[in-house]
Structure 1
Protein backbone atom coordinates (compact mmCIF):
# COMPACT_ATOMS: atom_id res chain seq x y z
CA UNK A 1 0.00 0.00 0.00
CA UNK A 2 1.14 3.51 -0.74
CA UNK A 3 0.33 4.72 2.77
CA UNK A 4 2.45 1.95 4.26
CA UNK A 5 5.37 3.00 2.07
CA UNK A 6 5.00 6.50 3.50
CA UNK A 7 5.38 5.16 7.04
CA UNK A 8 1.78 4.79 8.21
CA UNK A 9 0.83 1.87 10.47
CA UNK A 10 -0.99 -0.96 8.65
CA UNK A 11 -3.54 -1.35 11.47
CA UNK A 12 -4.36 2.36 11.35
CA UNK A 13 -4.77 2.21 7.58
CA UNK A 14 -7.17 -0.72 7.87
CA UNK A 15 -9.23 1.05 10.57
CA UNK A 16 -9.60 4.15 8.41
CA UNK A 17 -10.57 2.08 5.36
CA UNK A 18 -13.19 0.22 7.41
CA UNK A 19 -14.67 3.55 8.61
CA UNK A 20 -14.80 4.84 5.04
CA UNK A 21 -16.62 1.70 3.93
CA UNK A 22 -19.07 1.90 6.86
CA UNK A 23 -19.98 5.44 5.86
CA UNK A 24 -20.20 4.38 2.20
CA UNK A 25 -17.50 6.88 1.24
CA UNK A 26 -15.37 4.15 -0.27
CA UNK A 27 -16.75 1.17 -2.14
CA UNK A 28 -14.79 -1.34 -4.17
CA UNK A 29 -17.98 -2.41 -5.96
CA UNK A 30 -18.82 1.17 -6.92
CA UNK A 31 -15.27 1.72 -8.19
CA UNK A 32 -15.55 -1.45 -10.29
CA UNK A 33 -18.86 -0.28 -11.79
CA UNK A 34 -17.58 3.18 -12.65
CA UNK A 35 -14.29 1.89 -14.06
CA UNK A 36 -16.07 -0.74 -16.19
CA UNK A 37 -18.57 1.73 -17.65
CA UNK A 38 -15.85 4.31 -18.28
CA UNK A 39 -13.67 1.91 -20.24
CA UNK A 40 -16.62 0.64 -22.27
CA UNK A 41 -17.61 4.22 -23.12
CA UNK A 42 -14.02 4.81 -24.25
CA UNK A 43 -14.43 1.93 -26.72
CA UNK A 44 -12.32 -0.78 -25.13
CA UNK A 45 -13.13 -4.47 -25.54
CA UNK A 46 -13.74 -7.10 -22.88
CA UNK A 47 -10.20 -8.48 -22.80
CA UNK A 48 -8.65 -5.09 -22.14
CA UNK A 49 -11.33 -4.01 -19.65
CA UNK A 50 -10.90 -7.23 -17.65
CA UNK A 51 -7.11 -6.96 -17.69
CA UNK A 52 -7.12 -3.33 -16.57
CA UNK A 53 -9.58 -4.09 -13.77
CA UNK A 54 -7.33 -6.89 -12.56
CA UNK A 55 -4.30 -4.58 -12.69
CA UNK A 56 -6.22 -2.03 -10.61
CA UNK A 57 -6.74 -4.73 -7.97
CA UNK A 58 -10.48 -5.16 -8.48
CA UNK A 59 -11.69 -8.41 -6.92
CA UNK A 60 -12.65 -11.15 -9.40
CA UNK A 61 -16.21 -11.28 -8.02
CA UNK A 62 -16.68 -7.57 -8.74
CA UNK A 63 -15.27 -8.00 -12.25
CA UNK A 64 -17.66 -10.87 -13.01
CA UNK A 65 -20.58 -8.92 -11.54
CA UNK A 66 -19.84 -5.98 -13.86
CA UNK A 67 -19.63 -8.20 -16.92
CA UNK A 68 -22.95 -9.90 -16.09
CA UNK A 69 -24.80 -6.80 -14.84
CA UNK A 70 -24.10 -4.59 -17.83
CA UNK A 71 -25.25 -6.21 -21.04
CA UNK A 72 -22.60 -4.88 -23.40
CA UNK A 73 -22.86 -5.70 -27.08
CA UNK A 74 -19.14 -6.12 -27.71
CA UNK A 75 -19.52 -6.83 -31.43
CA UNK A 76 -21.50 -3.61 -31.91
CA UNK A 77 -18.90 -1.69 -29.91
CA UNK A 78 -16.11 -3.17 -32.06
CA UNK A 79 -17.99 -2.10 -35.20
CA UNK A 80 -18.49 1.40 -33.77
CA UNK A 81 -14.75 1.70 -33.04
CA UNK A 82 -13.97 0.35 -36.51
CA UNK A 83 -16.19 2.96 -38.17
CA UNK A 84 -14.90 5.79 -35.99
CA UNK A 85 -11.29 4.93 -36.82
CA UNK A 86 -11.56 3.93 -40.48
CA UNK A 87 -14.78 5.62 -41.59
CA UNK A 88 -16.38 4.40 -44.79
CA UNK A 89 -13.10 3.67 -46.53
CA UNK A 90 -13.71 0.46 -48.48
CA UNK A 91 -11.41 -2.47 -47.90
CA UNK A 92 -10.37 -4.39 -50.99
CA UNK A 93 -10.51 -8.17 -50.43
CA UNK A 94 -6.95 -8.51 -51.73
CA UNK A 95 -5.51 -5.84 -49.40
CA UNK A 96 -4.25 -8.20 -46.70
CA UNK A 97 -1.85 -5.68 -45.20
CA UNK A 98 -4.60 -3.12 -44.55
CA UNK A 99 -6.95 -5.82 -43.25
CA UNK A 100 -4.28 -6.96 -40.79
CA UNK A 101 -3.68 -3.36 -39.67
CA UNK A 102 -7.37 -2.84 -38.97
CA UNK A 103 -7.61 -6.15 -37.14
CA UNK A 104 -4.61 -5.24 -34.99
CA UNK A 105 -6.25 -1.95 -34.07
CA UNK A 106 -9.32 -3.72 -32.70
CA UNK A 107 -7.25 -6.45 -31.04
CA UNK A 108 -5.12 -3.85 -29.25
CA UNK A 109 -8.31 -2.28 -27.93
CA UNK A 110 -9.17 -5.64 -26.36
CA UNK A 111 -11.74 -7.18 -28.67
CA UNK A 112 -11.83 -10.92 -29.24
CA UNK A 113 -11.34 -12.45 -32.67
CA UNK A 114 -15.08 -13.18 -32.84
CA UNK A 115 -15.96 -9.52 -32.19
CA UNK A 116 -13.41 -8.39 -34.79
CA UNK A 117 -14.75 -10.85 -37.37
CA UNK A 118 -18.33 -9.66 -36.78
CA UNK A 119 -17.27 -6.00 -37.04
CA UNK A 120 -15.57 -6.72 -40.38
CA UNK A 121 -18.63 -8.60 -41.63
CA UNK A 122 -20.91 -5.71 -40.73
CA UNK A 123 -18.55 -3.20 -42.35
CA UNK A 124 -18.62 -5.22 -45.59
CA UNK A 125 -22.44 -5.46 -45.46
CA UNK A 126 -22.92 -1.73 -44.79
CA UNK A 127 -20.19 0.17 -46.64
CA UNK A 128 -22.28 3.37 -46.75
CA UNK A 129 -22.93 3.65 -42.96
Structure 2
Protein backbone atom coordinates (compact mmCIF):
# COMPACT_ATOMS: atom_id res chain seq x y z
CA UNK A 1 0.00 0.00 0.00
CA UNK A 2 1.46 3.40 -0.93
CA UNK A 3 2.35 5.86 1.80
CA UNK A 4 -0.52 8.32 2.49
CA UNK A 5 0.23 11.91 1.45
CA UNK A 6 -1.09 13.69 4.54
CA UNK A 7 -0.05 13.11 8.13
CA UNK A 8 -1.93 10.73 10.41
CA UNK A 9 -2.96 13.68 12.58
CA UNK A 10 -4.45 15.50 9.58
CA UNK A 11 -6.26 12.35 8.48
CA UNK A 12 -7.63 11.79 12.01
CA UNK A 13 -8.90 15.38 12.19
CA UNK A 14 -10.49 14.99 8.75
CA UNK A 15 -12.30 11.83 9.87
CA UNK A 16 -13.49 13.52 13.07
CA UNK A 17 -14.72 16.54 11.13
CA UNK A 18 -17.20 14.27 9.33
CA UNK A 19 -18.53 12.37 12.35
CA UNK A 20 -17.62 11.32 15.88
CA UNK A 21 -15.52 8.15 16.20
CA UNK A 22 -14.51 5.85 19.02
CA UNK A 23 -10.78 5.79 19.78
CA UNK A 24 -10.29 2.19 18.63
CA UNK A 25 -12.41 2.76 15.53
CA UNK A 26 -10.36 5.81 14.51
CA UNK A 27 -7.08 4.00 15.10
CA UNK A 28 -8.22 1.02 13.02
CA UNK A 29 -9.35 3.34 10.24
CA UNK A 30 -5.96 5.05 10.15
CA UNK A 31 -4.07 1.76 10.09
CA UNK A 32 -6.33 0.50 7.28
CA UNK A 33 -5.44 3.63 5.26
CA UNK A 34 -1.72 2.87 5.41
CA UNK A 35 -0.45 4.56 8.56
CA UNK A 36 1.60 2.42 10.94
CA UNK A 37 0.39 1.59 14.45
CA UNK A 38 2.66 4.16 16.14
CA UNK A 39 1.49 7.01 13.91
CA UNK A 40 -2.14 6.05 14.44
CA UNK A 41 -1.71 5.93 18.22
CA UNK A 42 -0.02 9.33 18.21
CA UNK A 43 -2.81 10.81 16.08
CA UNK A 44 -5.47 9.43 18.44
CA UNK A 45 -3.55 10.78 21.46
CA UNK A 46 -3.31 14.17 19.74
CA UNK A 47 -7.08 14.22 19.23
CA UNK A 48 -7.62 13.17 22.86
CA UNK A 49 -5.42 16.05 24.06
CA UNK A 50 -7.75 18.53 22.35
CA UNK A 51 -10.86 16.62 23.51
CA UNK A 52 -11.89 15.99 19.92
CA UNK A 53 -12.36 12.31 20.67
CA UNK A 54 -13.93 10.89 23.80
CA UNK A 55 -15.24 7.34 24.19
CA UNK A 56 -17.69 8.32 26.96
CA UNK A 57 -19.22 11.03 24.77
CA UNK A 58 -19.30 8.63 21.82
CA UNK A 59 -21.09 6.02 23.97
CA UNK A 60 -23.71 8.58 25.04
CA UNK A 61 -24.38 9.54 21.43
CA UNK A 62 -24.59 5.92 20.36
CA UNK A 63 -27.09 5.23 23.14
CA UNK A 64 -29.34 8.13 22.16
CA UNK A 65 -29.01 7.35 18.43
CA UNK A 66 -29.80 3.68 19.08
CA UNK A 67 -32.92 4.62 21.02
CA UNK A 68 -33.99 6.91 18.18
CA UNK A 69 -33.50 4.03 15.72
CA UNK A 70 -35.69 1.75 17.82
CA UNK A 71 -32.88 -0.47 19.10
CA UNK A 72 -32.96 -2.34 22.38
CA UNK A 73 -30.22 -2.34 24.97
CA UNK A 74 -28.64 -5.58 23.70
CA UNK A 75 -28.22 -4.13 20.19
CA UNK A 76 -26.77 -0.89 21.55
CA UNK A 77 -24.30 -2.80 23.74
CA UNK A 78 -23.29 -4.87 20.72
CA UNK A 79 -22.68 -1.72 18.68
CA UNK A 80 -20.55 -0.19 21.43
CA UNK A 81 -18.50 -3.37 21.80
CA UNK A 82 -18.00 -3.53 18.03
CA UNK A 83 -16.69 0.05 18.03
CA UNK A 84 -14.24 -0.81 20.82
CA UNK A 85 -15.81 1.07 23.72
CA UNK A 86 -14.50 -0.34 27.01
CA UNK A 87 -17.07 -2.26 29.09
CA UNK A 88 -16.45 -0.02 32.11
CA UNK A 89 -17.58 3.04 30.14
CA UNK A 90 -20.69 1.20 28.95
CA UNK A 91 -21.46 0.02 32.48
CA UNK A 92 -21.13 3.53 33.90
CA UNK A 93 -23.34 4.96 31.14
CA UNK A 94 -26.07 2.39 31.79
CA UNK A 95 -25.95 2.91 35.57
CA UNK A 96 -26.69 6.60 35.03
CA UNK A 97 -29.42 5.77 32.49
CA UNK A 98 -33.01 5.73 33.72
CA UNK A 99 -34.61 4.97 30.37
CA UNK A 100 -37.80 2.86 30.28
CA UNK A 101 -36.75 -0.05 28.06
CA UNK A 102 -40.09 -1.83 28.51
CA UNK A 103 -42.01 1.21 27.30
CA UNK A 104 -39.55 1.64 24.45
CA UNK A 105 -40.07 -1.97 23.31
CA UNK A 106 -43.83 -1.44 23.39
CA UNK A 107 -43.52 1.80 21.37
CA UNK A 108 -41.30 0.11 18.76
CA UNK A 109 -43.76 -2.79 18.43
CA UNK A 110 -46.69 -0.38 18.11
CA UNK A 111 -44.87 1.69 15.48
CA UNK A 112 -44.06 -1.43 13.44
CA UNK A 113 -47.24 -3.49 13.83
CA UNK A 114 -49.90 -0.99 14.88
CA UNK A 115 -52.60 -1.97 17.35
CA UNK A 116 -53.58 -5.16 15.51
CA UNK A 117 -54.04 -8.29 17.58
CA UNK A 118 -51.78 -11.31 17.30
CA UNK A 119 -54.12 -13.89 15.77
CA UNK A 120 -51.80 -16.77 14.83
CA UNK A 121 -48.70 -18.40 16.31
CA UNK A 122 -46.90 -17.54 13.07
CA UNK A 123 -47.65 -13.83 13.55
CA UNK A 124 -46.59 -14.04 17.19
CA UNK A 125 -43.27 -15.59 16.16
CA UNK A 126 -42.76 -12.94 13.46
CA UNK A 127 -43.25 -10.09 15.90
CA UNK A 128 -41.09 -11.81 18.50
CA UNK A 129 -38.25 -12.25 15.98
CA UNK A 130 -38.50 -8.62 14.92
CA UNK A 131 -38.09 -7.32 18.46
CA UNK A 132 -35.31 -9.84 19.14
CA UNK A 133 -33.44 -8.63 16.06
CA UNK A 134 -33.74 -5.08 17.38
CA UNK A 135 -31.95 -6.13 20.57
CA UNK A 136 -34.73 -6.31 23.14
CA UNK A 137 -34.57 -8.79 26.00
CA UNK A 138 -37.12 -11.57 26.49
CA UNK A 139 -39.06 -9.84 29.27
CA UNK A 140 -39.25 -6.60 27.30
CA UNK A 141 -40.57 -8.46 24.25
CA UNK A 142 -43.17 -10.29 26.29
CA UNK A 143 -44.29 -7.01 27.83
CA UNK A 144 -44.42 -5.24 24.44
CA UNK A 145 -46.48 -7.98 22.82
CA UNK A 146 -48.62 -8.72 25.89
CA UNK A 147 -47.50 -12.36 25.90
CA UNK A 148 -48.10 -14.21 29.15
CA UNK A 149 -47.28 -17.77 28.08
CA UNK A 150 -43.82 -19.26 27.64
CA UNK A 151 -42.38 -18.87 24.16
TM band (smaller chain): 0.7 to 0.9
Q: Which residue in 1 is equivalent to 2:17?
A: none
> What 5-or-longer segments of structure 1 have no aligned partner?
123-129
Q: Deviations over 1:51-70 (max 9, x none)?
A: 11101111111111221222
Alignment partners' CA distance in 1, 2:32 and 2:71: 33
Residue of structure 1 equivalent to 2:54 = 27
Q: After superposition, where does 1:21-60 map in structure 2 within 5 Å?
A: 21-60=48-87
Give how far 1:121 is off: 2.0
**Cα distance, 1:13 vs structure 2:** 2.4
TM-score (norm 2): 0.73
Match of 1:97 in 2: 122
Measure, in 1, the Cα distance between the counterparts of 2:34 and 2:126. Answer: 48
Which residue of 2 is the match for residue 110 of structure 1?
A: 135
Q: Does 1:121 align with 2:146?
A: yes
Aligned-residue RMSD, C-alpha = 1.6
Number of residue pairs aligned between Structure 1 and Structure 2: 120
Displacement of 1:99 in angstroms is 0.8
